[in-house]
């Protein structure tokens, strides 16, 4: 049986892996084994950090709402409870945007809650 050389496919595999690690530093951008491991870890972290990003934004929105409420002399927890009691269906993202970009509209929401 004839010998089959795997040079072409090995080159294609290596080129594919190394194209994914463009911009990485040191051996991770030049050596196949290190690059493959770098890709593996990068994919794990990207999945986990996509989940973390949602928590980070929620924290940011809460702190923005709280800062705007402190200027009005109100607490965040009491404000959220009053919103739920009144049946006002605004999520934290919208409330934070109002507090940051349209303080007059946010003041009207606070008046509706009081």
Is residue 52 in some structural domain? yes
Which of 23, 60, 57, 55 is CA-nearest to residue 39?
A: 23
Q: Percentage of residues in the chain with pLDDT exceeding 90?
A: 88
How far apart, in whole angstroms, are the C-alpha atoms of residue 99 and residue 56? 18
Is residue 1 in some structural domain? no
The pTM (predicted TM-score) of the whole model is 0.71
**pLDDT confidence band for 90 (50 / 70 / 90):** very high
Specify the number of domains making up the chain.
1
Query: Residue 109, Cα to own-chain centre: how many angstroms?
Result: 28
Is residue 2 in some structural domain? no
Instruction: Identify the pLDDT of residue 108.
Output: 94
pLDDT tens track for 18-64? 999 999 999 999 999 999 999 999 999 999 999 999 999 999 999 99
Torsion-angle region of 13 (φ positive above 0: left; ψ -120 to 50: alpha; else: beta): alpha
Instruction: Identify the pLDDT of residue 96.
Output: 97
Average pLDDT over residues 86-94: 94
Structural domain boundaries enclosing 70: 7-113
Is residue 102 in some structural domain? yes
Instruction: Identify the pLDDT of residue 87.
Output: 93
Is residue 33 in some structural domain? yes
Secondary structure (DSSP) of 26-38: GGGGT-HHHHHHH
Is residue 27 in some structural domain? yes
Burial of 8 (0-12, 13-18, 19+ CB in 10 A): exposed
Residue 26 tokens, joined:
């040191």
Q: Percentage of residues in the chain with pLDDT exceeding 70?
A: 100
Instruction: Identify the pLDDT of residue 3.
Output: 82
Instruction: Identify the pLDDT of residue 28.
Output: 95
**pLDDT confidence band for 114 (50 / 70 / 90):** confident
How far apart, in whole angstroms, are the C-alpha atoms of residue 31 and residue 29? 6
Domain CATH number, residue 48 = 1.10.1900.20
């Amino acid at each position: 049986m004839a010998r089959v050389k795997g040079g072409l496919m090995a080159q294609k595999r290596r080129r594919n892996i190394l194209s994914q690690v463009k911009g990485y530093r040191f051996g991770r951008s030049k050596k196949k084994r290190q690059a493959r491991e770098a890709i593996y870890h990068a994919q794990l972290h990207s999945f986990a950090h996509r989940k973390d990003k949602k928590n980070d934004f929620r924290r940011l929105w809460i702190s923005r709402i709280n800062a705007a409420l402190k200027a009005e002399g109100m607490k965040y927890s009491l404000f959220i409870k009053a919103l739920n009691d009144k049946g006002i269906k605004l999520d934290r993202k919208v409330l934070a945007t109002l507090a940051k970009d349209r303080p007059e509209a946010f003041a009207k929401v606070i008046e509706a809650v009081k």
